[in-house]
Amino acid sequence: MRDIDNDIVIYLDIFLFLINYMKLINNYNNSLNYVNMSTFL
């Protein structure tokens, strides 16, 4: 059971990391869009 618990924790860590990574990419894209808009304006 201990190994299974460790696996679950590792998967949770990876999952959270992916969510944060997606948020970072999303924020980065949003800021890029904002910069593009302001340069056109």
pLDDT tens for the 41 residues of the chain, in order: 577 788 999 999 999 999 999 999 999 888 888 777 677 65
d(CA 33, CA 17) in angstroms, rounded, equals: 24
Q: Given this model, what pLDDT does residue 34 score?
A: 76
CA distances to 4, 6, 13, 27, 31 from 24, rounded to whole Å, are 30, 27, 16, 5, 11
CA distances to 3, 12, 17 from 21, rounded to whole Å, are 27, 14, 6
Q: Given this model, what pLDDT does residue 29 score?
A: 85
Going from N- to C-terminal start, the domains of the chain cover: 1-34
Q: Given this model, what pLDDT does residue 14 score?
A: 95
